Structure 1
Amino acid sequence: MAVERASERLVELLTRDDAVQDQWVSAVAASLGGRISRAELERELTELYQALQQALGKGGLDWRDEAYSEVRALLVELSRNRARHGFTPTETAISVFACKDVLEPTGDSSAEDVTAYLQLARLFDALGLFTIEAYARTREEIISAQAEQLLELSTPVIKLWEGVVAVPLVGTLDSARTQVVMEKLLQSLVEWESEHAIIDITGVPAVDTEVAQHLLKTVVAARLMGAECTISGIRPQIAQTLVALGVQFGDIVTKATLADALRHVLQLGGARPVGGGER
């Protein structure tokens, strides 16, 4: 049987049996364990069901056809919603494959209906894969956004006094994180009109040549903004490592502890009472 006739026959089957849509919703609801309301499922799947009928009538069985643009858009929306709510790829794909199960031929189905169903099964397989791909893209976006948020949270800039800010670093310092530190520090220097910055690396587990270079770049960038930086948290182990690596900080002030760095800034007279002086 030609593909065109198969799609026509399938439209007839979909529109003839009013119970198909309800059975589809029930099957999906059972697989999701009540984590989405029945009303929400009915809205999603009714829109998808109607769009599928129209696409079958206009574009045949090719899911890449322009006639399926609304179907694809609805599947992307469904996939994104499932991903944001923590559903698995399998639970997301079931929203598509369940309709194929509902329409499965019975023992008294005609040969024409069976042939049409086989064509439908291929269509739903393709749409199911499309749904999983959309789900995967959304999960990647969510993970990337969460990583950026964690990066922001792990690099705070604290205003200690008028004219003095501090950046307490915890964890590994890599290129991406250094860029965030540099941007936030420079922005804070301008916003708070600070002349001194303390970069505390007490919480950085290890300092190698790469980390040292990242710190130097941050200090140089701050100096270009007219601020002097003090690096604190230089523990004995870190000092020995830097000497062994031949890393030199030049005229950059380094201190063993944050308290030493604070004392140094106070001795320079760079700290002003909060609220004092002109901003």
Structure 2
Amino acid sequence: MSQESDAVLRLIGEHEEQILTEWLQEAGANSSRITEAGRRTMRTDAGEILRGVRESLQAGADPHAFQAAEWSTVRDSLESLSRSRAAQGQSAGDTSAFVLAFKRPLFGLIQSQAQLLPGQQMAVAWTISSLVDRMAQWTVSTYQHTREDLIRRQQQDLLELSTPVIKLFEGVLAVPMIGTLDSARTQVVMETLLQRIVETGSRLAIIDITGVPTVDTLVAQHLLKTVSAIRLMGAECIISGIRPQIAQTIVHLGIDLQGIASKSSLADALALAMEQQGFVITRRQV
């Protein structure tokens, strides 16, 4: 253990309660905006981190190598703190500021214990600053990963919600498409639709693109891939929602949709599907 690490360990070991109290004061635990339950939570979090730092230093951890195994307990505590605060809606900056407040009481002790740290004050201060900065950065990284995971889950949920497969009639399924059609969404549509075709034994699938704002070459390719996959499952496909603007765009781009039934509306597509299934729709005489 270096002399600087030993000095930091002695400061924490001899003044743990003082450090904890001043840390919470610096972090704003006494603010009127914080509830009593919030203060208790802050004290618990700070106490856990402080004990982890002390135990890591006792194990010979190098303050400048925060990725080392000896700091795993502290990293786990910081990750738990960051995830908890992220779930509560607090920002990464708030969590980082809480950790950085750990410096203030330690710097105060260095100043007051100058006679016990002859010629070491600057080196000890640098060691503390380097360690706490790495701790704060770790919370920011964890917060970022947590938010990214949450966003990915939400995107996946939205994809699944935005591509419902509806059973319109016996043997007839429909997928109303809304918004931009990209590769990821096409994959979800194909997987969901093909699974429903297997489950229901349907022979016809209607893809309604009324809610798709624009159709370009890429969107058309995605549609063609979906139709091909449906046909490989032994079913047929009808594309509905072909508005005049979309029809002109398809012709202008030279996209070949021959062999694929298409209709201007979902109602027309359903009527065609019923006809292909051998059903005749008549109006009852009143």
Output the TM-score relative to the length of structure 2.
Answer: 0.86
Q: Which amino acid aligns with 2:198?
A: V
Offset, 1:26: 4.4
Runs of 4+ in 1 over 4 A off after TM superposition: none
CA distance in 2, matches of 1:270, 1:142: 48
Other-structure match for 1:34: 34
% same residue = 44
Contact 2:29–2:39 (CA under 8 A) maintained in structure 1: no
Other-structure match for 1:187: 195
- SS of the aligned residue for 2:180 comes to coil
Other-structure match for 1:87: 90
Q: How does 1:60-209 map to 2 (within 5 A)?
A: 60-62=62-64, 63-105=66-108, 108-110=112-114, 112=117, 114-115=121-122, 116-209=124-217
- SS of the aligned residue for 1:152 comes to helix
Say whether residues 1:19 and 2:18 are aligned partners.
yes
CA distance in 1, matches of 2:279, 2:85: 52
Offset, 1:184: 0.6
Other-structure match for 1:236: 244
Offset, 1:52: 0.6
Offset, 1:83: 2.4
Output the TM-score relative to the length of structure 1.
Answer: 0.88
CA distance in 1, matches of 2:173, 2:52: 58
CA deviations on 1:105-124 (whole Å, 9 max, x unpaired) are: 26644152734233211211
Offset, 1:95: 2.5
Root-mean-square deviation over aligned CA pairs: 2.3
Offset, 1:146: 1.4
Other-structure match for 2:51: 50
Q: Which amino acid aligns with 1:20?
A: I
CA distance in 1, matches of 2:171, 2:196: 10
Say whether residues 1:216 and 2:224 are aligned partners.
yes
Q: Which amino acid aligns with 1:110?
A: A
CA distance in 2, matches of 1:29, 1:227: 65
Contact 2:162–2:178 (CA under 8 A) maintained in structure 1: yes
Q: Which amino acid aligns with 1:30?
A: A
CA deviations on 1:208-228 (whole Å, 9 max, x unpaired) are: 111111101101101111111
Q: Which amino acid aligns with 1:255?
A: K
Cα separation, partners in 2 of 1:130 and 1:271, compared to 1, 3 Å:
farther
Contact 1:80–1:135 (CA under 8 A) maintained in structure 2: yes
Cα separation, partners in 2 of 1:8 and 1:271, compared to 1, 3 Å:
farther
Q: Which moved more, 1:8-17 or 1:91-100?
A: 8-17
Contact 2:82–2:140 (CA under 8 A) maintained in structure 1: yes
Cα separation, partners in 2 of 1:118 and 1:202, compared to 1, 3 Å:
same
Q: Which amino acid aligns with 1:40?
A: T
Offset, 1:270: 6.2
Other-structure match for 1:5: 3
Say whether residues 1:225 and 2:239 are aligned partners.
no
Q: Which amino acid aligns with 1:136?
A: Q
Structure 1, unaligned stretches of length 5 or more? 273-279
Offset, 1:6: 2.0
Aligned residues: 270
Cα separation, partners in 2 of 1:64 and 1:251, compared to 1, 3 Å:
closer
Q: Which amino acid aligns with 2:217?
A: T
